[in-house]
Amino acid sequence: MELCTTEGYGKVTIEAIAARSGVSKKTIYRWWPAKGAVVLEAMVEMVGEVTQFPDTGDIVTDLRNQMIAVVDYFMTGPRAAVYAGIIAETQHDEALARNLLEQLLEPRIRAAQERLRRARDQGQFAPDADLEMAVDLLYGPIYYRLLLHLGAYSHKQIGALIDLVIGSLGPVRPAGPPPVQ
């Protein structure tokens, strides 16, 4: 990751990774088929640390904290180009695409859906709110802005995005038991 953020993802080679880490190219190729796979695994470790899904009981605050961490860490600055470079490579590398889905995206998507489901179970959204689509609505725009070069959202815009999406899921009310009818 250090190499990628200083040299640029496109210029990093397996040779350079071997030299920097003090192991042979052969050792790297024993564990990873190509550069994309090495860098993806490094990203997966970071994602696990950075994008924990909190549950304070307040879905808007929790989404806000998690999404600001994602955008600040992966969608801005030098790591943004690294992440975009990996996603680009998955367009013509099916194995890397599968790894991206299985190791990075699907677990994070499930965690987001799970957090929204708890809020729905607490009566914070309409009972038939489509939580899969809600996750697409939250994360779709931030990936779209990264990959189509439209510029990352500010923290304020992330807050506005969450308000719009959460508002679309039905009336938000504080967590707690359902109101007595």
Would you call 125 helix, strand, or coil by DSSP? coil
For the four alpha carbons of 70, 76, 77 and 83, in that order, the dihedral sign comes to positive
Is residue 70 within 8 Å of residue 142, measured between CB atoms? yes
Binding its own copies (rule: CB under 8 A), the pick from 38, 47, 67, 161 is 161
Q: Which of residues 18-57 bind its own copies (CB under 8 A)?
A: none
Q: How many CB atoms lie within 10 A of CB 8?
A: 13
Q: What is the dihedral of CA 91, 94, 96, 99, to 10 degrees?
A: 120
- Using CB under 8 A, which of 19, 23, 126, 160 touches its own copies? 160
Binding its own copies (rule: CB under 8 A), the pick from 54, 107, 141, 159 is: 141
Read off the tokens for 58: 């307040």
Task: Give the nearest distance from C-beta 68 to its own copies in angstroms.
Answer: 16
Residue 137 is a binding residue for its own copies (CB under 8 A): yes
Among 1, 88, 111, 152, binds its own copies (CB under 8 A): 88
SS3 59: helix
Interface ranges with its own copies (CB under 8 A): 9-10, 81, 84-85, 87-92, 97, 100-101, 105, 130, 133-134, 136-137, 139-145, 147-150, 157, 160-161, 164-165, 167-169
